[in-house]
Chain A
Amino acid sequence: KQEVTQIPAALSVPEGENLVLNCSFTDSAIYNLQWFRQDPGKGLTSLLLIQSSQREQTSGRLNASLDKSSGRSTLYIAASQPGDSATYLCAVRPAETSGSRLTFGEGTQLTVNP
């Protein structure tokens, strides 16, 4: 059974700092991995999706990497801003099914202080 772990559970940084969020998964047979952000009491916003054949994806100040063999992904946020404060979730999609069943981590709650 796939398990997804996100470390740290919470992170507080000053504005302007570069930071890395970690996601690890136990079964490397994945189809893709997706990073989301969630604001309190709201739905999820998709940030980046990395296919199993890719090593990284970039969007603006965000860069996500994937090392499938070691079961790890990182989300790098450059020059953090208070508006980046949210919970960040990673989710993996298995390779062996039609791909509809995502397994989510519990998230990293990020606070960026002005």
Chain B
Amino acid sequence: ETGVTQTPRHLVMGMTNKKSLKCEQHLGHNAMYWYKQSAKKPLELMFVYNFKEQTENNSVPSRFSPECPNSSHLFLHLHTLQPEDSALYLCASSPGTGEKLFFGSGTQLSVL
């Protein structure tokens, strides 16, 4: 285990569904991130939270809604997604925002 746990590991949803991805870190880190990894593309940063406050939103569509209730937990709420949103969604954490990243195993999302 890496110390960063993501659930579920796999998710299939229809375009009208609402679902949430969960990330939990047990490393005592203060920064948490959501990344998207699509086939044949580099990882894309989506959101950054530092001490529970959102510090970056990389022009992500509003159908993706992050939530960070505390420094250990991060959620990504999904609503009315498109098939092109199918990807591996990775959560990461770091002690501070300029430091080494530790990744979870990801949620493989398929939107039908």
Residues of A with Cβ closer than 8 Å to B? Answer: 4, 31-32, 34, 36, 41-46, 49, 89, 91, 93, 98-107
Scoring A4, A93, A98 by chain B CB atoms within 10 A of each residue's CB, the highest score goes to A98
Residue pair B106, A41 in contact (C-beta under 8 Å):
yes
Q: Which residues of B contact A99 (CB under 8 A)?
A: 97-98
Residue pair A106, B40 in contact (C-beta under 8 Å):
yes
Residues of B with Cβ closer than 8 Å to A? Answer: 2, 4, 6, 31, 33, 40-43, 45, 48, 50, 55-56, 58, 88, 90, 92, 97-98, 100-106, 108
Q: Which residues of B contact A31 (CB under 8 A)?
A: 98
How many A-B pairs have beta carbons closer than 8 Å: the answer is 63
Question: Complex Cα distance A56/B69, Å?
Answer: 38
Q: Which residues of B contact A49 (CB under 8 A)?
A: 100
Contacts A41-B88, A41-B106, A43-B2: A93 and B98 contacting too (C-beta < 8 A)? yes
The 4 tightest CB contacts between A and B, nearest first, are A99-B98, A43-B103, A100-B97, A44-B103
Question: Complex Cα distance A68/B17, Å?
Answer: 46
Question: Complex Cα distance A101/B56, Å?
Answer: 9
